[in-house]
Structure 1
Amino acid sequence: MKKWLLPLLITAIIGYILYSWAVGGFYNTAVEYQENAKTTWSKVESSYQRRNDLIGNLVKTVQGAADFEKSTLTDVINARAKATSVNINAGDLTPEKMAQFQQAQQGLTGALSKLLVSVERYPDIKANKNFLELQSQLEGTENRINVARDRFNESTNIYNKHIKKFPGSFLAGIFGFDEMNRYKSDAGSENAPNVDFKF
């Protein structure tokens, strides 16, 4: 073997090892983590969709009470329509879009809370088997939403750490991997709610 070929061969081998590491070690792992985060976001949306479906059935059950407050039902129906109209592509989770999504969901949560408080004044509705079952399912769904949001943040954290650690931070720019946004709590949620039992 000629002496001038040896440095060329060593350079080619080192180049191949670096390329294999960059593509196999960093790129493929980044894709896997990013797709996992997108999937967990889909589960967040799925949990919210389940809640919206249950709220629709709850509203129909409550509408059966002829003397129930129409303005309260209208608020829930409008908030539900707004919440279902705000969708985010999992590949485009910008802070602005997530805030818009969260604001729509927060509006629905507020309207639903008002509805459930209003129901307290209607013993027939409170005793309705369908209403009680839907209310129980809604409580379970709220827990699912919380778990789904936590899992989304965990998978986003894994992805973000992968692309931010050196040398991943250098390769992320080359391969076009951007930081993903986490789901943040509603503004003011760190404060205890003001509960008023006056009717």
Structure 2
Amino acid sequence: MLIALLVILGVIVLAVLWAVGVYNGLIKLRNLVQEAWRQIDVELKRRHDLIGNLVETVKGYAAHERGTLEDVMKARSSAMAGGQSPGQQAQSEGMLSAALGRLIAVAEAYPDLKANGNFTALMNELTSTEDRIASARRYYNANVRELNTKVETVPSNFVAGMFNVGKADYFEVEGIERDPVKVDFGQSTYNIPPPSGYGQPQDSAQQIPNPPAPGQLPPSQG
């Protein structure tokens, strides 16, 4: 009888230790997902600021392109709205990318604008920011995939359900990296999705480094 009780007690202890280990692993993954999202959020805010400055620069040369400028600012306001999930943010950023593509297409018709030093600098900064967003997005999605796999698969899904550890949203932005068009402004190139029917897709101007493995911090980028 005593031996049976000891065996049962041992099984219970092992089960508790296993559950604790699984729970700690889930929380670690959830924290990594949240940290990765904060990195994306920082770069998105920088992107929004750069786009606002870009619109002001274009306005000085093409003020009569009012509809295009207003479309970009409306999309920017939507992307800057707080309280959005990663999935909702991805949709907002996709709309902003589409509006920005139309603005860049308009800018091609103004040689003085393309030669403007401030415009060129903003485009270079925007290109660099897009690259960092792409790298941070892949790192974030890799951690989301690992967390969601743990939440959905047996037996870790039982622990996730007990402690309300849910799945996270992926961050997939339509248009930022898919079928980009090279827009040449002389000293700089910027890959941005064009409006429907404009241009032909070419290879991306810059190569994005491979993301770090899930659970590892991405390398710092300048």
> Same fold judged by TM-score > 0.5?
yes
Please state if 1:183 is matched with 2:179. Answer: no
Distance 1:108 1:56 in 2: 11
Distance 1:9 1:66 in 2: 82
What secondary structure, in the 3-state scheme, does the structure 2 residue paired with 1:157 have?
helix
% identity of equivalent residues: 33
Query: TM-score, length-normalised on structure 2?
Result: 0.72
> Counterpart in 1 of 2:19?
22
Instruction: Give the C-alpha shift of residue 194 in structure 1.
Output: 3.3
Aligned residues: 184
The structure-2 alpha-carbon separation of the partners of 1:66 and 1:108, relative to structure 1 and needing over 3 Å to count, comes to: closer
Query: TM-score, length-normalised on structure 1?
Result: 0.80
Distance 1:101 1:185 in 2: 8
Aligned with 1:154 (options 142, 150, 157):
142
Which of structure 1's runs of 4+ aligned residues deviate more than 4 A? Answer: 189-193
The answer to whether the Cα contact below 8 Å between 1:36 and 1:155 also exists between their aligned partners in 2 is yes
What secondary structure, in the 3-state scheme, does the structure 1 residue paired with 2:166 have?
coil
Aligned with 2:10 (options 9, 13, 16):
13
Aligned with 1:120 (options 89, 108, 113):
108
Superposition CA RMSD, Å: 2.6
Unaligned runs of 5+ in 2: 181-195, 201-222
Unaligned runs of 5+ in 1: none
Distance 2:123 2:173 in 1: 24
Instruction: Give the C-alpha shift of residue 156 in structure 1.
Output: 0.7
> Counterpart in 2 of 1:58?
54
Aligned with 1:102 (options 90, 102, 105):
90
Distance 1:43 1:102 in 2: 15
The answer to whether the Cα contact below 8 Å between 2:48 and 2:76 also exists between their aligned partners in 1 is yes
Distance 1:14 1:103 in 2: 48
Deviations 1:154-185 (A, max 9, x none): 00111122233322122222222222232345
Structure showing the higher helix proportion among its residues: 1
Distance 1:191 1:63 in 2: 28
